[in-house]
Copies of this chain bind each other. A is one copy, B any other.
């Protein structure tokens, strides 16, 4: 076992939970750890390009999911007190006023500092997300890859 490795399954796409995941990931890489974030289901949303990408081969259902789910971190909503977006906007302002890093800054910092982001290919197949729609610099893998990394890590969280 390697005490310098951490994995996070990012299942949630809630603003607050993504923020928690990124704070932990940034903290761990700052302490010299290797960190892998496996984004699955709603968590995949943070890895989507914010702009609409022309794609082929999506079913009507997949187009609907794609249209309903947020693209990138800027559209995420709080898990509680969202109040049609007002609560999330308040949380962003309170965070900024407190001198905290924005969700976007936390995400950019994680990427710059080497947090490895892996998009779950099984979820992508279901939701119809194509690699062209995802940001650059991420990896694609399934549950076996996750389990392989989790076996090497000493902290494995599901968020």
CB–CB B155/A150 < 8 A: yes
Number of A residues, CB within 8 Å of B = 56
For A98, the closest partner residue in chain B by CB is B125
Q: Any chain B CB within 8 A of the CB of A20?
A: yes
Q: Which residues of B contact A126 (CB under 8 A)?
A: 91, 94-95, 98, 100
**CB of A25 to closest CB in B, whole Å:** 10
Q: Which residues of B contact A158 (CB under 8 A)?
A: 20, 157-159
- Copies of this chain present: 3
Q: Any chain B CB within 8 A of the CB of A59?
A: yes
Comparing A26-34, A47-55, A110-118, A130-138, the segment that makes contact with chain B is A26-34
| Inter-chain pairs besides A23-B122, A27-B143, 14 sampled, C-beta below 8 Å | A1-B3, A6-B147, A9-B157, A13-B80, A27-B147, A28-B147, A61-B94, A68-B81, A94-B127, A98-B126, A100-B125, A151-B154, A157-B157, A157-B158
